């Protein structure tokens, strides 16, 4: 089925091995083995990314810049097809090919604080190396992706159109989202604060978007579709969301969700080693808020998708998105309860605002 696509990238489909790969929720990914070479082939989800060409254009700009300013940096950008385009288009489907980074692996759940440290360092390094790149040159591949105000609007619209059964099942979670609305009010203020600049932000820093080497050291960041201008709280917050708990967003036994405080310190250290000199004091004060912001937004997005009839995230069973929302709200509660402990572990050097 992928024969024409592989051929368009100059690979002989008859002598390649193709297997589905990874556990992403958005794109379809295959690992391709062709002799001694390995590749990642991806079909971009165009329900989500309406203009895959914008992604390709952004990556070319970043690749050229990094090539000049940080030549040794590992940046897994797409490869050209035989027609010298980055995308192979087949009807509505858009495909791209990347080099498979040799001897790399991803993990779906953080099992030790060293992984959180390594990943935070990789995401921090990415933004630091691009600190002098004019983020305004980048296209918004997903307009309003982490615009919490808009996510609140989408949630409220879903409340109006959801069917009664889905609404009833989600009554407790809907109430919880409303009770935490202050998190969205803080966001409303920070977008008007000139000390909180737009930077080049990855926007999807979950742990399986970092490649590790055989010694479990961070190699590079991947999944660059959502690289665009944004606030640093997006990246730090998604790390809190996905590295602190030993059980991830798929966990159905909510008792397994808890916050590992040493992992918070690991994220802080790894990220700040790279970005500490770059962030403004106003940004640094938001380091804890970052986690609230992202966990809350993700809970809201899963709940909205549940109310909308599971149209966005891939689901495996009835009620999957509702369960994910419950999971994220549980994490949010535990995260908020750990604030004083986090400050103490950082020797009270920094007062985090709410």
Question: Cα–Cα–Cα angle for 130, 136, 140, nearest 5°?
Answer: 100
How many helices (H) and strands (E) the chain has is answered by 13, 9
106 part of the interface to ligand ADP, by CB under 6 A: yes
Binder among 76, 78, 237, 291 for ligand ADP (CB under 6 A) = 76
298 binds, among ligand GN1, Mg ion, ligand ADP, none (CB under 5 to 8 A by kind): ligand GN1
Q: Does 299 bind ligand ADP (CB under 6 A)?
A: no
How many whole angstroms separate alpha carbon 56 and alpha carbon 50?
12
3-state helix, strand, coil in the chain (%, to 5): 50, 10, 40
The residue from 8, 26, 236, 300 that contacts ligand GN1 (CB under 6 A) is 26
* Nearer CB in complex with ligand GN1: 23/111: 23
CB 235 within 8 A of CB 149: no
Contact 212, 185 (CB under 8 A): no
Binding to ligand ADP, residues 23-42 (CB under 6 A): 24-27, 29, 40
Tell me the chain's radius of gyration from C-alpha atoms.
Answer: 20
**Residue (38 or 350) nearer to ligand ADP, CB:** 38
Write the interaction track for Mg ion spanning residues 175-214; mark x where CB under 5 A is met and - where it is not.
Answer: ----------------------------------x-----
Show the DSSP H helices in the chain as ranges.
3-8, 52-69, 113-129, 148-161, 164-169, 171-179, 182-190, 232-243, 261-275, 281-284, 287-307, 320-337, 339-345
**Among 72, 110, 67, CA closest to 238:** 110
Binding region for ligand GN1 (CB under 6 A) out of 29-37, 83-91, 193-201, 203-211: 203-211
Pick the closer one to ligand GN1 by CB: 118 or 204: 204
Question: What is the per-residue binding string for ligand ADP in 208-227, x denoting contact by CB under 6 A?
Answer: xx-x----------xx----
Write out the residues near Mg ion by the rule CB under 5 A.
24, 209, 223
Write out the residues near ligand ADP by the rule CB under 6 A.
21-22, 24-27, 29, 40, 76, 98, 100-101, 104, 106, 208-209, 211, 222-223
């Amino acid at each position: 089925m992928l024969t024409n696509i592989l051929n368009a990238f100059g690979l002989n489909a008859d002598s390649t091995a193709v297997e589905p790969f990874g556990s992403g929720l958005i794109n379809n990914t295959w690992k391709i083995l062709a002799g001694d070479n390995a590749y990642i082939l991806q079909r971009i989800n165009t329900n989500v990314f309406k203009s895959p060409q914008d992604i390709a254009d952004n990556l070319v700009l970043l690749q050229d810049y990094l090539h000049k300013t940080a030549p040794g940096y590992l940046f897994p950008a797409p490869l050209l097809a035989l027609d010298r385009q980055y995308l192979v288009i087949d009807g509505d489907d858009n495909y791209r090919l990347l080099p498979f980074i040799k001897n790399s692996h991803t993990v779906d759940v953080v099992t030790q604080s060293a992984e959180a440290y390594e990943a935070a360092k990789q995401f921090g390094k990415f933004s630091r190396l691009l600190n002098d790149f004019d983020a305004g040159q980048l296209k918004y591949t997903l307009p309003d992706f982490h615009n919490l105000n808009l996510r609140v609007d989408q949630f409220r619209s879903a409340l109006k159109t959801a069917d009664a059964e889905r609404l009833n099942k989600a009554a407790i979670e809907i109430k919880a989202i409303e009770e935490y609305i202050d998190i969205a009010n803080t966001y409303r203020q920070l977008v008007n604060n000139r000390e909180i600049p737009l930077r080049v932000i990855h926007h999807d820093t979950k742990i399986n978007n970092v490649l590790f080497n055989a010694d479990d050291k961070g190699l590079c960041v991947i999944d660059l579709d959502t690289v665009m201008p944004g606030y640093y709280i997006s990246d730090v917050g998604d790390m809190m969301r996905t590295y602190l708990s030993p059980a991830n967003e798929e966990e159905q036994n909510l008792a397994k969700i808890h916050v590992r405080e040493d992992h918070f310190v690991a994220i802080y250290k790894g990220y700040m080693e790279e970005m500490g000199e770059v962030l403004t004091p106003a940004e640094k004060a938001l380091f804890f808020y970052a986690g609230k912001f992202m966990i809350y937004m993700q809970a809201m997005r899963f709940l909205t998708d549940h109310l909308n009839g599971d149209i966005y995230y891939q689901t495996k069973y009835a009620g999957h998105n509702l369960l994910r929302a419950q999971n994220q709200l549980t994490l949010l509660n535990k995260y908020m309860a750990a604030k004083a402990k986090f400050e103490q572990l950082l020797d009270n050097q920094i007062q985090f605002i709410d």
